[in-house]
Amino acid sequence: MAQSPSINDRDHDLLKKITENTYEGITNVTLPTGAATAAKQDTLAALISPSGRIFTSAGAQTITAGGAAQTVFAANTSRVYLFIVNTSDTIMYLDVTGAAATTASIPLAASGGFYEPLVAPSALISILCATTGKAFVAKQAS
């Protein structure tokens, strides 16, 4: 019985297709210098969304002003993927139509509450937390 390929084998195949610009749905990819190295491949793999698209915005962020809504992502009619997770120890509130508020927004539980819709909203994405400096991760793809 044939052994199924390891995750590394699948990642390598995907990265090869990307570097050859033959992966369906990805076009005009400009790779960083030295993309053939393992470190660069790991970096590139981390930017690929589950839908196979390249994240246009990604990364850890923090609350800049406790108690005030802050923009996570501007409105984007090309957005096809959105993922936000609260990595802090404090509840956060997410809004996908405008300014976040504690009374009318989506609560993200502390330590792992997340939002990943089936259909990505195109409006401004904002978040609110009572405490400055609390962390969250936000990713989108267009």
Q: Where are the domains of the chain?
A: 7-48, 56-141
Q: H or E element: which one contains 111?
A: none
Looking at domain 56-141, its CATH class is mainly beta
- Give the residue among 98, 92, 73, 71 at the shortest CA–CA distance from 83: 73
Higher pLDDT, 34 or 58: 58
pLDDT, one tens digit per residue, over 66-103 is: 999 999 999 999 888 899 999 999 999 999 999 999 99
pLDDT value of position 37 = 52
**Cα distance between residue 52 and residue 103, in whole Å:** 35
pLDDT, one tens digit per residue, over 110-137 is: 999 999 999 999 999 999 999 999 999 8
Q: Is the pLDDT of residue 21 over 50?
A: no
pTM: 0.64
